[in-house]
Amino acid sequence: MVIDADTLRDALRPVRDWLDGPDTPETKPGRTTLAAAVRTSLRAFAQAYPGKAVEVRVPPFAAVQCLPGATHTRGTPPHVVETDPRNWLLMVTGLLAWADAVATGKVNASGHRSGEIGALLPWPPTSQDCNKE
């Protein structure tokens, strides 16, 4: 299934207030809403940057492989980016800079190619248009 910009914006819109505000039990979106936002954004990201060189993991919801180049077939891949759902969505929408996320331990990035993910974030159309109704 191809994920277009409207589908992506629709998945991110319900979590935007949570991303803009504090992370509290009262503001956190439900699991289904959060899972949809993470899965849709990860799949759209992998669709925009196809390949199997870097694995991006956002447990417990999804992991994708992206970027062209050498691939792996077994075990832990050499280039991995892992973060939690909130920080992934903050980076996708441009509310958290990659460098800040890495420096504060909000993102674990291993392998020399993992930094390429940061160069692609924030990532249009979400960073520009996710607030539009």
Domains present along the chain, CATH in parentheses: 5-129 (3.30.1050.40)
Q: Give the position of tokens 């077939």.
A: 73
Residue 79 half-sphere exposure toward CB, CA atoms < 13 A: 21
Closest to 83 in 3D by CA, of 117, 112, 53, 50: 117
Task: Output the pTM of the full model.
Answer: 0.89
Q: In this structure, what token pair is assigned to residue 94?
A: 């441009």
- AA letter at 48: A
Tell me: the pLDDT tens digits for 16-69? 999 999 999 999 999 999 999 999 999 999 999 999 999 999 999 999 999 998
Q: In this structure, what token pair is assigned to residue 48?
A: 């925009």
- AA letter at 103: A
Q: Decide: helix, strand or coil at residue 82.
A: strand
Tell me: the pLDDT tens digits for 61-113? 999 999 998 766 666 778 999 999 999 999 999 999 999 999 999 999 999 99
pLDDT band at 130 (very low <50, low <70, confident <90, very high): very low
